[in-house]
Structure 1
Amino acid sequence: MDQYFVTDTNIYLLDALEAIYSFAPKRNDIRNFLIIPYVVLEEIDSFKKEQHSSRGLNAHLFSRELKKISQTKKQKLSKGVEISKNYYVKVEYDYNDSLEKKLLRQYHGKENDNIILSIANTIKERNKGEVELVTNDSNLFIKAESIGLNASDWRAAKSIEKYRDIYKGWREITVEDKIIDYFISSKQAMPLEELNIESLIPNEYLILKSSNYKINSFKEGELNNRDFVLVSYKKRIIGLKNGGYIKVPYLAGKKSNILGINSRNIQQSLALNALLRRDIRLVNLIGPAGTGKTILSVATGLYQLRTNNSRKKNNIYETLVIGRPNISMGPELGYLPGNIKEKMEPWMNPIFDNITGTMKEELVKKIHNSPTKRKALSELKSGEMEDYLLDNEFIEIQPLQHIRGRSRENVYMIIDEAQNLDPLEVKTIITRIGDNSKIILTGDPQQIDKKGLNELTNGLCFASERMKLEEITATIFLKDGERSKLATLGSKLL
């Protein structure tokens, strides 16, 4: 059986090499054909001028790889080249233009899209095999289905099949009272089989509940002593043959307090635990607006900075590095007037807005012992406080286009709004992290502004799903809005 995958430009701009090789057949009795419409080559060329973007990088990688395939095999791509057993790559020029003319009458503009559809339809008419259009463009997807073509997102870029299947990093389980009593009275880990749970993931948190005990009593201002959260640790730490679970000590009976920031629900407590644990190097905080992703990340980052006045056990990182994909990864940042702080101020205000009130007061205490210096620092206005933190290198703003090629050691890095990164951009950032560093990715996959990405293909979900089995990573899905009742309702209903 033959299968034809007619591809759109956008899948190669996400990850060119992965896209070229991801359609190989899984069975020996199937032949797969990767069809690259000639207009895709033309569109790819237009992105090569983006020297500092992942799209520009992928455009160059795509062209080089096709050239390499043709030269290595000494065959023309227009005729089709077998690059592995039963897997062919072909650049297609031939199509029946009658459909294209019809599409031009129905859909004005987007001529290249119409040519891609016409090529796919021509292959379908001339061959007995299955034909599928592969695109991450929603409109092209709909147009394909409207003319009877099968269409799909690029599967290799999809970290999950449905958003509701997103890995949350925690789960609630109902147990007998004696299990909770066991954890109250014992500091020992419990063998996995005692909890009757399968397929647990490293650093996945378990919220135990029983019919007699409430899970959450934050509304009364304190965690109930019967509210217990367990975390799956590395097997070698627990020392149990089949793995096990152990109580998270400071989540039982009290709230966490970091630079005056308190956890307001149980998921926020889990997030603080992951953000403070030194054995975890990557934390993914996922959830709607107003759930506390940014403020928790900023508070724990500042809390763990090295200062002359900080306690040794919290004296871990030299600098809090902050980046956002909204800050251009292309050359246009250079056109804006002012120094780097002035250029980036509009994008960084959501970060610095969190360093106010109690957090600012506690941060001042962390930085200085001297009452005089504390008083002077606490009297700084908002913009002046930002300047102080930047000038003294407590905080560094990181333009993401400058991160490639660097190795960042001894830093606590926050990438806010990471849902607007593609998988290659996330890979580029994570692979820059050096020794004794930690990276936090935060974002809401249902608020994506970048063309070509969606709640299934964005870099945040990609990193969470691809890295979740590693013992140095953790993911926490924050479900409850805490900013205000209006903000929570707006996130759900609008």
Structure 2
Amino acid sequence: MTKIYVLDTNVLLHDPEAVFAFQDNCVVIPIAVVEEIDNQKNRQDEIGDNARCISRIMDTLRARGSLSDGVYTDSGGIIKVELNHQSPNNLPIGLSSEKYDNRILAVAYSLNVENPGLVKLVTKDINLRIKADAMGLEAEDYKNDKVDVATLFSGVKTLQVNAECIDDFYKYSRLSIDNVDFLPNEFAVLTDYTNQSHSMLARYSIKEKCLIPLFYKDLEIWGIRPKNKEQRFAMELLLNADISLVTLSGQSGTGKTLLALAAGLHEVVEEKRYKRLLVTRPVVPLGRDIGYLPGDKDEKLRPWMQPIFDNLEYLCQSDISSRDLVQEFQQRGMLEIEALTYIRGRTLPNQFIICDEAQNLTPHMVKTIITRVGEGSKIIFTGDPQQIDNPYLDISSNGLTYLIDHLKGQEVSGHITLIKGERSKLAELGAMYL
């Protein structure tokens, strides 16, 4: 039988195309949702853009017929705007009908009374799902862009082989392994099953169609040398000009941002392969927002971008005045540190781009950023999917995880999950046990 899906506002602001994601079922949009979308349409960010997008979609559907009666989609489903079923009598005592969330809840509850067992409330708001469950309603998160984290691509295969394979690799600098499928730019840790200390690190080359040695594994750049095998793999991706998109994930202190910045400085300042290092990150506060900040744009951004400046000054610490050197790079146009808000609409050719804290991005935001990348540019996304500050994202629905899953196997992309913390012993303990 046809299911009835009642959509919350946050689902449509997360993915305006969500109205078409339920195949031949009935999608109900409460009028309270339309009101909330209207309240967000003037925002100059992704939420405002999505609000305007869903409004245009609904207006296009309106041309096919009455939204209050229901409009058929190409997949055979029905989309309708629900004007009724919002009576406060449908809410338990203590839930005010003045709140948009509760009005949406009332619609879902009333429809479920009329169509028992066929109604589901779809919302990214955990508390609303809890309230729905308490009222006997089925409720679920929006799952269309969720990724199975248990099978998420790590970028590395670990295999047990015989000693001859490893000896041949060291002798001929190439190795093919039958019955093992490698993705482009995937790495391998091959260990002799008779001697665990007899091992090798390699990368799969789609051009060579075999495993080849790491080229940059022991290179020191800006005072930084890889400290573990995952960092060696990351360095290989960061410095390979044939790989234009790199994703680095891992817990705090594994060196994601530091390695990316060191590689960026190396490629821009020393190798001059790119004309500028552009570093950006989403402006998402940890904890309570501190409100408006005084000063011009650069002064306002400084607190949000301070972790980037800290890493840059650490890399430049061999200089007498590391802060002056960073400022010199900025004045010469070789370094730009920008909030993600200002990336939209730009074209970014011939640049080494780092997007830090990418776990706080939605899949749509990641797509927006990638489509800004021009000819000759390279982009790196770094982040920890375990530390998400966006209230409507989780480990399986954030933009970084989505990107890793959907672009694995592309010849121009590569990914590594960093495992070992290298910031300090205390930082690693905190990341592991707290």
**For this structure pair, what is the TM-score category when the shorter chain's length is used for normalisation?**
over 0.9
Query: Aligned runs of 1:181-260 on 2, under 5 Å?
Result: 181-190=167-176, 192-193=177-178, 196-198=179-181, 200-214=182-196, 226-234=198-206, 237-238=207-208, 243-251=209-217, 255-260=218-223
Contact 2:216 2:235 in 1 (8 A): no
Query: Once the 2 structures are TM-superposed, how far is the Cα of residue 428 of structure 1 from its aligned partner?
Result: 1.1
Alignment CA distance shift 1:108-1:79 (3 Å): closer
- Secondary structure in 1 matching 2:124: coil
The one of 358, 361, 365 aligned to 1:425: 365
Residue 100 of structure 1 is matched in structure 2 by: 90
Q: 1:256 to 1:100 in 2, by over 3 A?
A: farther
Measured in 2, the distance between the counterparts of 1:357 and 1:424 equals 33
Offset of residue 118 of structure 1: 2.3
Matched, 1:411 2:393: no
CA distance in 2, matches of 1:302, 1:111: 50
Structure 1 gaps, min length 5 = 25-30, 216-225, 362-377
Report the AA paired with residue 208 of structure 1. Answer: L
Instruction: Report the CA distance between 1:429 and its aligned residue.
Output: 0.9
Aligned to 1:19: 18
What displacement does 1:260 show?
1.6
Kept in 2, the 8 Å contact 1:327–1:344? The answer is no
| Match 1:445 to one of 385, 397, 403 | 385
Query: Retained in 1: the 8 A contact 2:248–2:381?
Result: yes
Match of 2:38 among 45, 48, 54: 45
Q: CA deviation at 1:208?
A: 1.2
Q: Is the 8 A contact 2:4 2:119 kept in 1?
A: yes
Output the aligned Cα RMSD.
2.4
1:187 Cα deviation after fit? 2.1
Aligned-residue offset at 1:402: 1.9
In 1, distance between residues paired with 2:313 and 2:91? 60
Q: Is the 8 A contact 1:327 1:399 kept in 2?
A: no
Q: Counterparts of 2:166 and 2:97 in 1: how far apart (Å)?
A: 64
Given candidates 58, 63, 86, the residue that maps to 2:55 is 63
Q: What is the distance in 1 between the residues matched to 2:290 and 2:375?
A: 30
Matched, 1:352 2:338: no
The percent identity for this pair of structures is 38
> Which whole-Å CA distance do the structure 1 matches of 2:292 and 2:114 have between them?
51
SS at match of 2:382: strand
TM normalised by structure 2 equals 0.93
| Alpha-carbon distance in structure 1 between the residues aligned to 2:192 and 2:363 | 40
**1:249 Cα deviation (Å)?**
3.9
Alignment of 1:80 with 2:67, yes or no, is no
Structure 1 Cα separation of the partners of residues 75 and 323 of structure 2: 62
Q: Report the number of matched residues.
A: 431
Instruction: Give the direction of change, closer, same or farther, for the CA distance of 1:425–1:244 in structure 2 (3 Å limit).
Output: same
What CA deviation, in whole Å up to 9, does each residue of 1:170-205 have, x standing for no partner?
Answer: 121222222222211112341x52xx324x322221
Deviation, structure 1 residue 165: 3.0
Which whole-Å CA distance do the structure 1 matches of 2:172 and 2:166 have between them? 10
SS at match of 1:155: coil
Unaligned runs of 5+ in 2: none
Change (3 A) 1:168 1:283: same
Equivalent residues in 2 for 1:43-192 (5 A)?
Answer: 43-51=36-44, 53-71=45-63, 73=64, 75-95=65-85, 97=87, 100-102=90-92, 104-105=93-94, 107=95, 111-127=99-115, 130-158=118-146, 160-161=147-148, 163-190=149-176, 192=177
Could you tell me how far apart the structure 2 residues matched to 1:327 and 1:321 are?
19
CA distance in 1, matches of 2:160, 2:245: 29
Seen in structure 2, the aligned counterparts of structure 1 residues 258 and 481 have a Cα distance that, compared at 3 Å, is same
CA contact (8 A) 2:354 2:379 kept: yes
TM-superposed deviation, 1:121:
2.4
Do the aligned partners of 1:292 and 1:481 also contact (CA within 8 Å) in 2? yes
Question: Which one-letter code corresponds to 2:263 in the other structure?
Answer: T
Note if contact 1:327-1:400 (Cα within 8 Å) is conserved in structure 2: no
Task: Give the Cα separation in 2 of the matches to 1:214 and 1:358.
Answer: 35
Aligned to 1:397, what secondary structure does the other structure show?
Answer: strand
- Is the 2:120–2:140 contact (alpha carbons within 8 Å) kept by the matching residues of 1? yes
1:436 equivalent to 2:399? Answer: no
Q: Which amino acid aligns with 2:139?
A: A
Distance in 1 (CA, whole Å) between partners of 2:28 and 2:311 is: 50
Q: Please list the CA deviations of residues 376-396 of structure 1 after superposition, one character each: whole Å capped at 9, or x if unmatched.
A: xx322x432332121112211
CA gap of 1:182–1:145, structure 2 versus 1, over 3 A, is: farther
Report the TM-score when normalising by structure 1.
0.82
Higher helix share: 1
CA distance, structure 2, for counterparts of residue 417 and residue 112 of structure 1: 31
